[in-house]
Amino acid sequence: MDVVVLAGVVAASLGLALLALSLLRTRRESGRFAMLDQIATVSDSSHDLDQTLDAICEILVPRIADFCMIDVIADGKLERAATAVSHRGGEEVRRMLSEREPSTPAWMLADGDEASLEPRFIERMGEEDLRELAHSEEDLERLHQLGVRSAITAALRARGHVIGTVTLGTAWSRRRYRRHDARFARVLSGRVALALDNAGLFSDLERAQRERAEIAATLQRGLLPPPLPNIPGWAAAAMYRPAGAENEVGGDFYDAFPIAGGWMLVIGDVTGRGAQAASITAQARYTLRTAAWLSGDPLVALATLNSALLARSDSALCSVVALALSQDATEPVRLAVAGHLPPLLVDGDSVSEVAEAGPVLGAFGDARWHLEMTALTPGQQLVAVTDGVTEAGGPAEPGGSSERFGESRLRAELAGCASPAISVRKIEGALDGFAEGPLEDDAAALALTPAPV
């Protein structure tokens, strides 16, 4: 081939390669500018702090990272605030990373130090890097299992103060970060910090959220069902399992309190979660207590609560089982059911309902309920549960749906139970084994029997 022609071919090939590289870089930079724009849009939205940080991580994964973590400084300590993992990592990896203590170098958190703006860039993750990141041998093993190939951590700094860090990592995609990725991480961290600071999410909103969390925690402590008191002549046991975050008030409750001539036990479920559930739960418990103390009658207690709920400005529904116990355990239990699963009578291997449910509370002004009388002998139990027990979902099936715990399973677990304590333990153990994870709804159970003479 003529040298001139060969040179022309080489030049043309080189030109095409350079053009392809240029197009690749243009596409890459265009995609990154789009991500920065998305981050700005998310930060300007009305989402709360947790939602905003989660959304930012979701923007970055899996486009430029297999996993992403954002840590923020709260009360002088770096805490994990958001985590995202690509679908190849799975929920177990996401949970591990979200619970893991951040391993950020001290120099990166130094206010006013320009060196803190330089990202920590690990192009090829080696054993020495892993040991430097690990907090313990157990943590080191988890990092080995993660299979990290590259990682970048950059400080989030606004108004001269480091307010957190963002970490990007690759593993399952087999990608490796390069120097241009570290430079982009520095730009990215500045955009994230500036956008969040401008939106006030690390000042007023964070402070407001902390205050709301403290209020919610205080409400929860005040509304958690108390330990059952000693009830002369009776043996009783109860269980309460909240669903959701620890500082989120749930809607299930139980209570036990003295009335004229004996005691009243109640178990119930209110609509909603969070602040609304807290207000309804508080109103339900204390209205039932007051009405029962004044009347000693389960029907009066239900009617009084029904009127109180109907008088609210919001929609408030509540289901309740009310059980009135005499000081003489040989006398029948007086009980009334409003929109709730009827109590079960456990007599050896026999398990059967002992009442019919009347209307739910808070729905009808002319609602009426029936008073049932159930005599119990030692060895027989009354067991009432909220629908958080029977409606608990098991592991998801291939089609996406999941089996429910159900009343048949509940009855099978209770058959043969010899005491309230055993019944409650059986229900709780069966729930743990069936759900294999956090419950979707709160769950409560209450069991009682005449004490042996």
Give me the pLDDT at residue 194, please.
73
Residue 185: count other Cβ atoms within 10 Å of its Cβ: 23
Average pLDDT, the chain: 84
Query: Are 263 and 307 in a shared domain?
Result: yes
Which residues have C-beta within 8 Å of that of residue 26, sequence separation ≥ 6?
none
- pLDDT tens, 195-232? 667 655 455 545 555 655 565 555 555 556 778 999 99
Q: Please say which residue of 169, 202, 235 terminates a domain.
A: 202
What is the DSSP secondary structure assignment for residue 391, as one 8-state letter? T
Q: How far is CA 247 from the centre of its chain?
A: 9
Q: Please say which residue of 167, 202, 237 terminates a domain.
A: 202
**431 against 105, higher pLDDT:** 431
Residue 275: count other Cβ atoms within 10 Å of its Cβ: 14
Q: Output the pTM of the full model.
A: 0.54
**219 against 277, higher pLDDT:** 277
CATH of the domain at 64: 3.30.450.40
User: Residue for token digits 């996993």?
Assistant: 67
Residue 179 falls inside a structural domain: yes
Query: Are 292 and 423 in a shared domain?
Result: yes
Query: Are 164 and 299 in a shared domain?
Result: no
Please say whether the beta carbons of 102 and 78 come within 8 A: yes
Give me the pLDDT at residue 158, please.
77
Please say whether the beta carbons of 199 and 43 come within 8 A: yes
What's the CA gap between 93 and 70, in Å, rounded? 16
Residue 27 falls inside a structural domain: no
What are the helix and strand counts (H, E) for the chain?
Answer: 12, 17
Counted domains in the chain = 2
pLDDT band, residue 118 (cuts 50/70/90): confident
Is the pLDDT at 22 greater than 50, yes or no?
Answer: no
User: Residue for token digits 């297999």?
Assistant: 66
Residue 321 falls inside a structural domain: yes
Query: Are 446 and 300 in a shared domain?
Result: yes
Query: Are 331 and 394 in a shared domain?
Result: yes
Q: Which run of H or E residues covers position 324?
A: strand 318-326
Residue 234 falls inside a structural domain: yes
Please say whether the beta carbons of 256 and 236 come within 8 A: yes
CATH of the domain at 284: 3.60.40.10
Give me the pLDDT at residue 195, please.
64
pLDDT band, residue 282 (cuts 50/70/90): confident
Residue 217 falls inside a structural domain: no
Please say whether the beta carbons of 338 and 319 come within 8 A: yes
What is the DSSP secondary structure assignment for residue 361, as one 8-state letter? B
What is the pLDDT averaged over residues 357-367? Answer: 95
Could you tell me the residue range of the domain that residue 81 belongs to? 32-202
Is the pLDDT at 140 greater than 60, yes or no?
Answer: yes
Give me the pLDDT at residue 15, please.
45
Query: Are 197 and 232 in a shared domain?
Result: no
Query: Are 247 and 374 in a shared domain?
Result: yes
Is the pLDDT at 5 greater than 70, yes or no?
Answer: no
Query: Are 233 and 187 in a shared domain?
Result: no
Question: With b meaning 16 or more CB within 10 Å and e meaning fewer, what string describes 188-222?
Answer: bbbbbbbbbbebebbeebbeeeeeeeeebeebbee
- pLDDT tens, 27-66? 666 677 788 888 878 776 656 677 888 889 999 999 999 9
What's the CA gap between 173 and 328, in Å, rounded? 71
The conformational region for residue 75 under phi > 0 = left, psi -120 to 50 = alpha, else beta, is: left
What's the CA gap between 167 and 151, in Å, rounded? 7
Residue 113 falls inside a structural domain: yes
Q: Which of 57, 68, 73 is nearest to 203 (CA)?
A: 73
Give me the pLDDT at residue 397, please.
64
**47 against 123, higher pLDDT:** 123
3-state secondary structure of 235: strand
Q: Which of 302, 255, 232 is nearest to 444 (CA)?
A: 255
Residue 272 falls inside a structural domain: yes
Q: How many CA atoms lie within 13 A of 116 on its CB side?
A: 22
Query: Are 371 and 275 in a shared domain?
Result: yes
Residue 16 falls inside a structural domain: no
Is the pLDDT at 326 greater than 60, yes or no?
Answer: yes
What's the CA gap between 389 and 407, in Å, rounded? 9
What's the CA gap between 285 and 271, in Å, rounded? 14
Range in 64-68, 114-118, 138-142, 297-301 with the lowest mean pLDDT: 114-118
- pLDDT tens, 65-113? 999 999 988 777 889 989 999 999 999 999 999 999 998 888 887 765 5
pLDDT band, residue 399 (cuts 50/70/90): low
Query: Are 86 and 160 in a shared domain?
Result: yes
Query: Are 267 and 148 in a shared domain?
Result: no
Query: Are 313 and 185 in a shared domain?
Result: no
What's the CA gap between 453 and 378, in Å, rounded? 8
Q: Please say which residue of 202, 234, 260 terminates a domain.
A: 202
Give me the pLDDT at residue 257, please.
93
